[in-house]
Structure 1
Amino acid sequence: MDSNPKKRPTIRSINGLITYWIGEIESSDDEDEVKNQFLEADKIKPIIEPSKHSNHDYISKPIDIQEISNKLSEPYESSNDL
């Protein structure tokens, strides 16, 4: 990919290319070159397994926004009185 944004493809050209590919796959027979290339790529793509970490704190998990909001609205109480 070129670092110059002016030399990169526009979203319209990318969208047109993807639309063309989808149309070719959907409307073609089993002898179509584009369709066969996509099917062949699907066979060789790597299967990526999610990694398992011993420290599960770094794994995304749902949070309760209401609980966080309630904690933030409570006054801060310091345990270190000077």
Structure 2
Amino acid sequence: MPPPQQGRGRARIAFSDSAAKQLEAITSEAAVHALDRALVVISVDPEAGTPIPGGASAPQLRQYADEVEHVRVLYFVTTLRTVVVVAYIEV
């Protein structure tokens, strides 16, 4: 009998240069916590966000917004769905 297949693990989170600068500017512990929760959701389920209409030549941008935590993240997922690249952060 073959071993049970494990589910796909979390996607790795990477930040664009501009998102990394936005991340550095966050000083509130509550904002960091809220962003961390949003990033966990996206890493577990990269499809959690909604697609943003755009050109077909670039990676499909998605938006994840958490109205309770007041977080908005724009991101795209790599072809193999192993890395989520965060392009913009709003906390």
Q: Which one has the bigger strand percentage?
A: 2
**TM > 0.5 between the two?**
no
TM-score (norm 1): 0.28
Q: Which one has the bigger helix percentage?
A: 1
TM-score (norm 2): 0.25
Q: Which has the larger radius of gyration?
A: 1
Of structures 1 and 2, the one with the larger relative CO (CA 8 A, separation 6+) is: 2
